[in-house]
Amino acid sequence: MKVKFYLDSKITSSGESAIWCYVREYDKTFALNTGEKIKPVLWDKILHRANLKKEKDKIKKGVLNDINQYLNTIENKIHEITRLVRSKDFTAGFSIIVDEMKKQFNKREVGFFSIYDEFVSLKNTEVTKPTIVKLNRIKALLEEYEKFANDKLNFEKLTPIFFQKFYTFLITKKNLLNNTAHKDMQFLKSFLIWANLNKYTTNEAYKSFKVKSESNEVIYLTEEELMKLYNLTLHDNDRLARVRDVFVFQCLTGCRHSDLQNLKNDDITSGVWHLRTQKTRQIIDIPLNGMAISLLAKYSGYPTPLPVISNQKMNDYLKELCELAEIDAVIKTVKYQGNERIEHTYKKYEVIGTHTARRTFISLSLQKGMQAEVIMSITGHSDYKMMRKYLKIADGHKREEMDKVWGSSVRLL
């Protein structure tokens, strides 16, 4: 079985010719339109590939390299189809192999984005609404990239160079921070894993693309700040008093705001909150300490255990509340966009939100000696890697406590 690529004799108004794949066995030939086009001057008639030496511009050379990788993928796929067909029936003729090629390559006609839509539709019953919003956002970004690159996407074109270019596009054209772009790439990978499992593609180029996420500052309340908030007098402001109580309860239990919104009175028995998390659907038992139980008792006359409001309003009111409590330590954050270092300085109350409560619970629990495994069983974390950034905070706290008791550290060596 011989596979060669040739240019169509017709040249388009843009000066390009279509690239055709010719599959030959003895005197029989099958022609397949690859869907790619190239200027004849950039084509190597001997190698039957784009000639990278004819182009000096790095970006244009990258496009030519993408074409070559795509053609390599088609050739490899044809040989794989031939192998599979004849491994089942070694007498299979050329026409049977061609029929299988048509079936395999016609899958592309379904459309890359149509398959993505099917993926999102099926995920609707498995993940939360915010995750669906993120998945739809990835589709929009891919569509933007397709227009930007002037290249129609399909699975075969998702080469290692594509992933590098798409990641660069997210940072340089969409102005995303490195960590945000990294998360978007992880969502895209989840789709491609699903597409492979469901036989829409055999392309696993995504496995070779790896980008490390960068550590962010963990913003949490110290024990002193938490108690300052807990004891803050708010007689004349019921609105902030309710927000304070809900937030402190979160700090004492490590729960997400979405789970607090679903809290019912019969979820708590014998001082234990029996919870099925909304985000991961795990079943978790959270033992309630005395402070948490006293907060629930305060709202015993309410229809719900706590007066929980929307996440957006809660975040707005928390900043107002924490400013009133003078939680105003200076916080510096460092993030990266490509190689650019971006620093911002805030007063602590400016960056506090409902997510701060969960981080506060983990950080203070570690500082007080609770084992990481126990914390994970309460918060529902299954990845121990997540705990490492909090363990660093706990180690720092040990140094502070040592200095308080024995005086400042003195390095003798």
Q: SS3 of 56, please?
A: coil
In one-letter notation, the amino acid at residue 145 is Y
pLDDT at residue number 14: 82
CA dihedral 126, 129, 135, 140 (to 10 degrees): 150
248-281 pLDDT tens trace:
999 999 998 989 998 998 899 998 999 888 777 7
CB distance 180 to 214 below 8 Å: no
CB distance 346 to 329 below 8 Å: no
> Whose CA is closest to 223, among 379, 397, 388?
397
CB distance 16 to 37 below 8 Å: yes
289-322 pLDDT tens trace:
999 999 999 998 888 899 999 999 999 999 999 9
pLDDT at residue number 5: 94
pLDDT at residue number 38: 92
User: What number does CATH give the domain 223-316+354-406?
Assistant: 1.10.443.10
Total-model pTM: 0.64
CB distance 192 to 157 below 8 Å: no
Residue/partner pairs of 325-330 with CB below 8 Å, 24 or more apart: 325/225, 325/228, 325/229, 325/232, 325/349, 326/228, 327/221, 327/225, 327/228, 327/229, 327/352
CB distance 256 to 278 below 8 Å: yes
pLDDT at residue number 412: 45
The fold of the 111-208 domain, in CATH, is: DNA polymerase; domain 1 (1.10.150)
Question: Where in the chain are the domains?
Answer: 2-109, 111-208, 223-316+354-406
Residue ranges, the chain, pLDDT below 50: 108-109, 410-413
Instruction: Name residue, tokens 């395999």.
Output: 104
- What DSSP state is assigned to residue 348? G
CB distance 73 to 53 below 8 Å: no
Residue/partner pairs of 94-102 with CB below 8 Å, 24 or more apart: 94/25, 94/26, 94/28, 94/30, 95/28, 97/1, 97/25, 98/23, 98/30, 101/23, 101/30, 101/32
pLDDT at residue number 413: 42
